[in-house]
């Protein structure tokens, strides 16, 4: 059986090397070649013994998702649709800025959580991504943007300086594969990203937040989107299982291990739904005991969403109320919306196993 080395973190490669009679330092060499140099051909790994290269060629591959299309928005945002087999595709987005390059990485084909304002959630769910399919998005971005060249490219030359697990899917619903991919991102022999520059965004899977704290505490973002349970139950259905009080308690438990001394709360601004001054004041009271900052996200429309974006004035007033209460608050700049690469617009190609898309069509006809 052929194995894909992209599925292995450092420890996994050490164990693999042991099974084929190779010393542990070979694992570090492999990490360098695969992730720092972006090399997928064993024959090109010049400082590996020829015998090892031959062993690897006989038993392993470095197999990446295939690029179906690659588009660039007017503002420089770049989006890839990557084929992951069986008619399924995932989307990955790179956002260039003056002092950083942020990659928005997907963790599932579709999403089972069905947040009502999210295009991915409307597509239904097929399966979790493998480690190779998750880390492969970072590999492809660094390689195709062209700043990761040379036999052992330095971390400073990386196109991607920040990773946010905010693409398609709920990262913490694919816990083991996501955390292994995080280990590779953080490994100095691979991508060497700092924990502060890697963010996991969750809709609020409380037990998995606790597991992440113990296993691999990176920066944490919570998709909050409402200041009370009644409204959040409608917008983020997982809230019915893990209501806001439990979610905020998990945030408090996470903070002592977090690389940053705050939690980021993401809040999509929906016209007439969650954007009133009353909602803003409710939020202030809600998070008064949680060190946090708010990221207000103008809603990005998609066909059949049923929501409208809050006006710029409503967003400004909402932001000012939060800031006057001492809460650090930013308004996310909409990037890549002309190629449907903005927050909440990622849809990919999902062979839905949940029948959600069929049920939505039936409901629409009734």
Give catalytic residue positions.
91, 343
Distance linking the first and last C-alpha atoms of the chain: 50
User: Closest by alpha carbon to 331, among 308, 307, 306, 314?
Assistant: 314
Distance, CA of 107 to CA of 201 (rounded, Å): 11
Give Cα separations from 347 to 293, 302, 320 (angstroms).
Answer: 28, 10, 32
Distance, CA of 297 to CA of 235 (rounded, Å): 15
For residue 210, give the H/E element and its range: helix 206-215
CB neighbours of 329 closer than 8 A, spacing ≥ 6?
293, 294, 295, 296, 319, 322, 323
Residues 196/260, Cβ–Cβ less than 8 Å: yes
Q: What's CA 239's distance to the chain center, in Å?
A: 20
Distance, CA of 319 to CA of 178 (rounded, Å): 33
Residues 99/323, Cβ–Cβ less than 8 Å: no
Distance, CA of 294 to CA of 283 (rounded, Å): 10
How crowded is the C-beta side of 7, counted as CA atoms within 13 Å? 11
Mark residue 169 as left, alpha or beta (left: phi above 0; alpha: psi -120 to 50; beta: remaining): left
The residues that bridge with 93 in the sheet, in sequence order, are 79, 104
Asked whether the CA dihedral 279, 281, 283, 286 is positive or negative, the reply is negative
């Amino acid at each position: 059986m052929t194995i894909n080395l992209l599925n292995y973190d450092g420890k996994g490669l050490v164990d693999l090397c042991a099974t084929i009679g190779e010393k542990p330092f070979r694992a570090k060499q492999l990490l360098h070649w695969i992730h720092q140099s972006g090399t997928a051909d064993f024959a090109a790994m010049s400082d590996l013994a020829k015998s090892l290269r031959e062993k690897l060629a006989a038993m392993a591959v470095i197999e990446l998702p295939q690029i179906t299309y690659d588009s660039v928005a007017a503002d420089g945002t770049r989006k890839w649709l990557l084929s992951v087999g069986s008619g399924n595709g995932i989307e990955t987005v790179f956002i260039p800025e003056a002092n950083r390059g942020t990659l928005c990485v997907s963790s599932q084909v579709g999403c089972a959580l069905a947040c009502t304002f999210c295009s991915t959630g409307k597509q239904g769910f097929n399966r979790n991504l493998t480690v190779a399919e998750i880390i492969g998005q970072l590999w492809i971005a660094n390689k195709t943007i062209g700043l990761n060249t040379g036999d052992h490219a330095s971390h400073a030359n990386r196109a991607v300086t920040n990773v946010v697990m905010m693409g398609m899917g709920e990262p913490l619903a694919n816990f083991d594969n996501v955390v292994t991919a995080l280990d590779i991102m953080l490994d100095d022999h691979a991508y060497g990203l700092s924990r502060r520059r890697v963010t996991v965004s969750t809709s609020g899977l409380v037990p998995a937040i606790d597991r992440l704290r113990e296993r691999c505490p990176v920066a944490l973002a919570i998709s909050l989107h409402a200041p009370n349970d009644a409204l959040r139950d409608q917008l983020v259905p997982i809230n019915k299982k893990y209501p806001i009080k439990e979610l905020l308690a998990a945030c408090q438990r996470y903070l002592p291990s977090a690389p940053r001394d705050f939690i980021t709360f993401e809040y999509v601004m929906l016209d007439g739904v969650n954007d009133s001054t009353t909602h803003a004041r409710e939020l202030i009271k809600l998070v008064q005991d949680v060190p946090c900052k708010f990221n207000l996200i103008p809603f990005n429309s998609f066909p059949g969403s049923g929501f409208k974006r809050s006006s710029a004035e409503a967003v400004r007033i909402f932001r000012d109320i939060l800031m006057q209460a001492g809460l650090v608050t930013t308004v996310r700049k909409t990037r890549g919306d002309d190629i449907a690469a903005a927050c909440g617009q990622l849809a990919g190609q999902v062979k839905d196993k949940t029948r959600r898309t069929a049920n939505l069509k039936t409901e629409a006809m009734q």
